[in-house]
């Protein structure tokens, strides 16, 4: 069962390479398998779920889960986090992005 505030997913970029070469690397090195969601995104489930996206993203994006997305957004703001992407829909649910006081960007998703 998913729990609010627990690391649930990680997105990484495939900048500087194609998704095909990224998938080939992780398949050969670690035996990973992938599910493609269009030409710019591929997902994996290798203990921790995640995906690679072809976009300019300097750092991996840790994604937390929340059962009550709006309440979690409020809690993040009240704790000193800065919302950088308000709640938006994506295939599979809704999410928002925030920056913590140390400058790290994270996202929180829910249904």
Sorted by where each begins, the domain ranges of the chain are 7-110
Rg (CA), the chain: 15
Distance between start and end Cα atoms, the chain: 14
Place of tokens 């998938």: 23
Task: Judge whether 10 and 61 are in contact, CB under 8 Å.
Answer: yes
pLDDT of residue 4: 94
Per-residue pLDDT of the chain (111 residues; tens, 9 = 90+): 889 999 999 999 887 678 899 999 999 998 999 999 988 899 999 989 999 998 776 689 999 999 999 999 999 999 999 999 999 999 889 999 999 988 999 999 999
7-110 placed in CATH 1.10.357.10: no
The sign of the dihedral angle between the CA atoms of 77, 79, 80, 83 is: negative
Q: Say what the pTM is.
A: 0.86
């Amino acid at each position: 069962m998913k729990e609010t505030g627990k690391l649930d997913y990680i997105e990484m970029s495939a900048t500087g390479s194609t998704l095909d070469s990224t998938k080939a690397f992780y398949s050969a090195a670690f035996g990973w398998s992938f599910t493609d969601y269009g030409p710019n995104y591929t997902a994996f489930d290798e203990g921790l779920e995640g995906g690679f996206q072809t976009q300019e993203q300097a750092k991996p994006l840790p994604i937390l889960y929340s059962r009550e997305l709006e309440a979690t957004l409020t809690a993040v703001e009240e704790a000193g986090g800065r919302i950088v992407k308000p709640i938006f829909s994506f295939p599979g649910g809704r999410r928002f992005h925030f920056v913590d006081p140390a400058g790290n960007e994270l996202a929180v998703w829910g249904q």
